Amino acid sequence: MPGINKFAKLTSVESALQALLNLCSPIGRTVKVDLEYADGRVVSRDVIAPRDNPHYDVCQVDGYAVRACDTAGCQGGRVLRPAAGGQVGPGTYVQVHTGGALPEGADAVVRMEDTDPADGGRLFYNEVKAGENVLARGSILRKGDVACAAGVQLKPTDIALLAKLGLTGVEVFERPRVLIVPTGDELVERGKEPGPGTVNESNGIMCFLFIKRYGGKPALYDIVRDDPSMIAEALKMGSRYDLIVTTGGTSVGVRDRMEEVVSRMGKVLVHGVALKPGRPMGIGYVESGDRRTPIVFLPGLTEACASTMLTFVVPAIRKLGHYPPLHPRREKARLTRGLPGFPGANAFHKLYIEGGMATPVPLMGGAPRPGDYVYAIVPESIEKYEEGEEVETVYLE
C-alpha cells in the first residue's frame, strides 16, 4: 500500500516552518481605523505630526509665570507683583496651572510651593532659569516629523500620542484573512448530538480562536466531507484568503485526501513533520490564476491540531500581518514527573504549574482547573527529561 511509511522521513520543525514562512508575504492591504479600534494593530505608513507637539509653550507646574531674570538672586525672598492683563512684564507674575499656556512675556514658571503670600504680591525664594518648568512648543515633535513609524504595533500609550496630535484614526495593515476548513466524515456540527463514530467538530472553533487571538481575521467554513471534490471546492474559496488552514484528512488512510487535493490544486512542500503530536501535518499552496495561497493542513487529532497551530500557523499569521514576534513569558520549572521525548521528533507537552513545579498533563482532555498551564518541548535529541529536572516552559497559549 503506497504511502504507508511516508512519515518514516519527517521534515524538521525548523525547515517546515521556514518553508511555510517563505510562502507567506506580508500583506499589503491597509485600512484606516478609528483610534478606539487601533490597539494592537500595525501602522502601515509613517504617521506625520500634523502640528507641533506641544502646540504651545506649556506650564509644567502649578505656580507663577515670571521672567527668569526677575528671580536672579532671590533666595532671600523677593516680592513680585501680579501682572495686569495677563501679560508678564518686569517684576510681575501671572498665576498659571499645570498644562496651561505660558503667558506672553514670561519665560519660566516658579512652583506655587516655592512662594508665599506677601503684601502687594508674592514672595519668591527660588531662582529659575529661562525655560524652567516650561515645555517648549514643538519640543516633543515638530509639525511634519514622523510621529509614529510604519511597522509599530500600536499600544495604548502610542494611541494617546496620536490623539494628542489631533488624530482620530490611523492607517494600519489589514489583519490576515484566514479560511479555516474543518474536514472529516466523522464530524457533526457544534451542539448536535453525535452517535458512535462521530464527534462534534471542535478543531474549527479552536483554530478560529487561536487565529483571532494572535492577530488574524478567521472565517470558519462549513464542515467538509472526506471527498476530494468537496475539499477542492473549499480550497478554491480559500484562494481568496491570505492563508488556508484545514483540519483532518492529513494522514495516510483511505479517507485522508488532503495531500492529493492540494497536490492537484497547487503543490505540497512538506508532509510529515518531526513534531509529536502533529506528524501528519502538511504545508503547501493552492494556485488560482496568478495567485498562490499558502495552505497548512493540520491533523484532525485535536492535540496535534493545537500543537501544529501554535508551532506553525501562529508564526505565519504574525508574518502575514507585519506583527512583531510574540513575547510569551518563558520560565524554568522543575518536573514532578519525567517528561518523555519521542524518537525522531520534538515532543510537545502541556504542564500544570504549581509553586514553581511543573506537572505533565494531557494536551487535551484533562478537566482544566484554575492556574497556569504552560508548554514545554522535549527535543528529538533527548530521550526523556527526568523527574526533578528543570525545563524551560513557555506561557504559549
Q: Which is nearer to a copy of itself, 91 or 138 (CB)?
A: 138
Distance between CA atoms of 386 and 337, rounded to whole angstroms?
Answer: 7
Q: Which is nearer to a copy of itself, 158 or 380 (CB)?
A: 158
Q: Which is nearer to a copy of itself, 25 or 387 (CB)?
A: 25
Distance of closest approach, residue 205 Cβ to a copy of itself, in angstroms: 5
Distance of closest approach, residue 188 Cβ to a copy of itself, in angstroms: 9
CB atoms closer than 10 angstroms to residue 114: 18
* 251 to 247, 288, 302: CA distances (angstroms): 11, 25, 14
Q: Which is nearer to a copy of itself, 155 or 291 (CB)?
A: 155
User: Alpha helix locations (H) across the chain?
Assistant: 13-23, 156-164, 203-213, 228-238, 258-265, 302-308, 314-320
Distance between CA atoms of 20 and 31, rounded to whole angstroms?
Answer: 26
User: ω into residue 299 within 30 of 0, thus cis?
Assistant: no
Distance of closest approach, residue 157 Cβ to a copy of itself, in angstroms: 5
Contact 152, 88 (CB under 8 A): no
Distance of closest approach, residue 291 Cβ to a copy of itself, in angstroms: 28
Distance of closest approach, residue 48 Cβ to a copy of itself, in angstroms: 10
CB atoms closer than 10 angstroms to residue 69: 13
Q: Which is nearer to a copy of itself, 187 or 286 (CB)?
A: 187
Distance between CA atoms of 76 and 96, rounded to whole angstroms?
Answer: 23
At 35, the amino acid letter reads L
Distance of closest approach, residue 276 Cβ to a copy of itself, in angstroms: 14
Distance of closest approach, residue 285 Cβ to a copy of itself, in angstroms: 25
DSSP string, 80-149: EEEPSTT---TTEEEEE-TTPBPPTT--EEEEGGGEEEETTEEEE-----TTTTEE-TTSSB-TTSEEE-
Q: Which is nearer to a copy of itself, 261 or 269 (CB)?
A: 261
User: ω into residue 54 within 30 of 0, thus cis?
Assistant: yes
Distance of closest approach, residue 280 Cβ to a copy of itself, in angstroms: 10
* Residue appearing with cell numbers 518514516: 8
Q: Which is nearer to a copy of itself, 290 or 369 (CB)?
A: 369
Read off the C-alpha cell for 339: 517528561
Q: Which is nearer to a copy of itself, 45 or 267 (CB)?
A: 45
- Residue 20: CB partners within 8 Å, gap ≥ 6? 270, 283, 294, 296, 312, 315, 316
Distance of closest approach, residue 290 Cβ to a copy of itself, in angstroms: 30
Q: What is the DSSP letter of 345?
A: B
